[in-house]
């Protein structure tokens, strides 16, 4: 699992690749922390390289969504692979997190 | 900072009042602070919504103007009741009365000099509508032996609605009191507008009262389970969700993988329900009653082969509507419409709808 974060023209452009599962969920959460503390962030996270997310990964995406909303910002997950999107769909999280 | 008092050319009596004013500004600042805190706290505790709470200490130039015009009327500074002026602007007329009752509890009111301008108009006249209380800080609220004037000086508290405030400001802007004669037609139009705004204020209050009555009735009907009598709209659906109608199905679905249920609002599903022709909460109850088993089967098929142990509270209504659309012939297009409505248009919605149509074709409820 790998995470990148960059600032581009007022937006925060992030990308996550690989698998998020129980073995690396804590690491994923740690890498999301800088995004959770931003004020009014406009975050686009490219998920085209995300191959799998476990329940732990879902929880971290939820935490990120909550923190971003609480800080007056916006989070959009982009280019999700179908098998990952399906996890968000069948759990109802597609209704909570913006996925384009 | 100050001009020389003598240079205003006031008489000795007025000059002494002006000097007293200069010495007393810190007292008025303190009164302002105490009164603002008390009003803010009371408004918050009583759950009253206001548009603004304003305050000002009369500027020296303004006081000079007042003394020039009617200085002889005042024995001392304490006779002038608007050195400190405060104003509460409310949304609704009845809230002006609530603020007044609150002020009555908080402050010592000088009733002899307080005035309700709303009641001063003749039957056929319309104009300035505002409630003015002349107040003092009671010793029970604040007392400082070093500054006893805090409980002696009076201040003016104006209470009015936002519409009354707009009218008063525009009326003031005409310079009506400046001595310049305003043509009859303009004054008449201002008066007509005052009448119109009075009616509008009354209508706003009646609309709010009506909405509150409607909400109370809906809550009673929901709590007595008379769902078929309750029309489906944003308000009624919100009340309905408070009794957690989808909890039972969510718990069944969660039990598939011993999952935790993450709290989430289902209120945005109202648009899908309306689009599908649901007219009352009774229709939603029927959806739950008739389609829960099939929604559970769909969830079991989707979640059963995974180790996902967290679901959103929206899963139950989502799966209920998916099976409702599919069993009633809505097919792929119906599902795409639902996902577009909920999540905004996206290519994913088509992929998801196709996947669900394939999934459902393997489930018994689509082959009955």
Per-residue pLDDT band at B215 (split at 50, 70, 90): confident
Of A59, A82, A92, the CB nearest to B351: A82
How many structural domains are present in chain A?
Answer: 1
Q: What is the mean pLDDT of chain B?
A: 90
Residue B4's pLDDT band, with cuts at 50, 70 and 90, is confident
Q: Which of the residue ranges A66-70, A79-83, B125-129, B271-275 would you say has the lowest mean pLDDT?
A: B125-129
Interface A-B, measured as beta-carbon pairs within 8 A, has a size of 62
Region B202-225: mean pLDDT is 85
Average pLDDT over residues B12-20: 91
Beta carbons of A92 and B318 less than 8 Å apart: yes
Residue of A nearest to B266 (CA): A95
Task: Specify the range with the lowest mean pLDDT, choosing from B151-165, B180-194, B229-243, B265-279.
Answer: B180-194
ipTM entry: 0.90
Q: Which of A84-88, B20-24, B226-230 has the lowest mean pLDDT?
A: B226-230
The pLDDT of residue B178 is above 60:
no
Mean pLDDT of B307-319: 96
Residue B326 has pLDDT above 70, yes or no: yes
CA nearest to B298 within chain A: A90
Return phi, psi of residue B50, to 5°: -125, 160
> What is the secondary structure of B115-173 as a DSSP string?
EEGGG-S-TT------EEEEEE--TTT---TT-GGGGTS-EEEEEEEHHHHHHHHHHHH
- Quick: pLDDT tens for A12-32: 999 999 999 989 999 999 999
Q: What is the 3-state secondary structure (H, E, C) of B18-65?
A: HHHHHHHHHHHHHHHHHHHHHHHHHHHHCCCCEEEEEEEECCHHHHHH
Q: Which residue of A has its CA nearest to B295?
A: A90
Condensed to tens digits (0 to 9), the pLDDT of residues B103-131 reads 999 999 999 999 887 666 666 666 677 89
Residues B28-45: what's their mean pLDDT? 96
Q: Distance, in angstroms, between A61 CA and closest chain B CA?
A: 12
3-class secondary-structure state, position B293: helix
CATH number of the domain enclosing A80: 3.30.750.24
**For testing the chain A interface, which of B322, B347, B352, B358 should be mutated: the one with the most A CBs within 10 Å?**
B352
A91 interaction partners in chain B (CB closer than 8 Å): 303, 308, 310-312, 315
Mean pLDDT of B161-172: 87
Among residues 13-72 of chain A, which lie with CB inside 8 Å of chain B? Answer: 54-55, 58-59, 62
Check whether B222 has a pLDDT greater than 90. Answer: no
Nearest to B314 among A54, A95, A99 (CB): A95
Cα B240 from Cα B314, distance rounded (Å): 15
pLDDT band at residue B315 under the 50/70/90 scheme: very high
CA distance A47 to A85: 10
- The parent domain of residue A19 ranges over 2-99
Q: Tell me if A59 and B310 make a contact (CB, 8 A cut-off).
A: yes
Note if the pTM is more than 0.90.
Answer: no
Inter-chain residue contact B352 with A89, CB threshold 8 Å: yes
Predicted confidence (pLDDT) per residue in B262-307, tens digit: 999 999 999 999 999 999 999 999 999 999 999 999 999 999 989 9
Q: What is the mean pLDDT of residues B227-238?
A: 91
pLDDT tens-digit series, residues B139-164: 999 999 999 999 999 999 999 999 99
């Amino acid at each position: 699992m790998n995470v990148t974060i960059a600032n581009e023209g007022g937006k925060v452009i992030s990308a996550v690749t690989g698998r998020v599962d129980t073995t690396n969920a804590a690491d994923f959460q740690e890498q999301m922390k800088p995004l959770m503390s931003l004020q009014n962030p406009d975050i686009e996270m490219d998920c085209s390289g995300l191959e799998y997310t476990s329940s732990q990964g879902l929880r971290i995406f939820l935490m990120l969504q909550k923190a971003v909303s609480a800080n007056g910002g916006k989070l959009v997950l982009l280019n999700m692979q179908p098998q990952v999107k399906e996890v968000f769909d069948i759990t109802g999280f597609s209704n909570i997190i913006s996925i384009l | 900072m100050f001009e020389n008092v003598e240079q205003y050319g006031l008489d000795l009596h007025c000059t002494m009042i002006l000097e007293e004013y200069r010495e007393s500004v810190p007292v008025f600042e303190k009164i302002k602070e105490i009164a603002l805190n008390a009003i803010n706290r009371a408004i918050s505790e009583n759950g009253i919504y206001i548009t603004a709470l304003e305050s000002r200490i009369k500027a020296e130039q303004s006081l000079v103007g007042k003394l020039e015009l009617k200085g002889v009327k005042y024995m001392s500074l304490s006779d002038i009741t608007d050195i400190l002026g405060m104003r509460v602007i409310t949304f609704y007329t009845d809230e002006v009365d609530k603020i007044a009752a609150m002020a009555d509890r908080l402050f010592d009111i000088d009733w002899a000099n307080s005035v309700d301008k709303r009641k001063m108009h003749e039957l056929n006249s319309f104009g300035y509508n505002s409630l003015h209380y002349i107040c003092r800080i009671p010793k029970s609220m604040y007392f400082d032996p070093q500054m006893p004037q805090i409980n002696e000086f009076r201040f003016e508290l104006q209470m009015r609605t936002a519409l009354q405030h707009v009218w008063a400001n525009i009326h003031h802007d005409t310079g009506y009191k400046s001595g310049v004669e305003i043509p009859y037609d303009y004054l008449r139009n201002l008066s007509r507008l005052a009448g119109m705004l009075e009616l509008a204020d009354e209508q706003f209050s009646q609309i709010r009262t009506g909405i509150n009555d409607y909400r109370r009735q809906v809550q009673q009907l929901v709590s007595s389970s008379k769902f078929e009598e309750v029309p489906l709209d944003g308000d009624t659906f919100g009340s309905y969700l408070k009794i957690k109608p989808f909890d039972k199905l969510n718990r069944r679905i969660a039990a598939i993988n011993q999952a935790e249920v993450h709290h989430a609002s289902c209120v945005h599903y109202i648009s899908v329900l309306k689009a599908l022709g649901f007219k009352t909460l009774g229709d939603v109850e029927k959806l739950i009653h008739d389609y829960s088993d099939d929604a559970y089967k769909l969830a079991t098929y989707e979640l059963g082969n995974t180790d996902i142990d967290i679901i959103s509270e929206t899963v139950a209504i989502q799966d209920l509507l998916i099976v409702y659309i599919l069993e009633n012939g809505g097919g792929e297009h119906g599902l795409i419409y639902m996902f577009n409505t909920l999540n905004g248009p996206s290519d994913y919605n088509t992929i998801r709808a196709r996947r669900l149509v394939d999934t459902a074709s393997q489930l018994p409820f689509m082959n009955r």
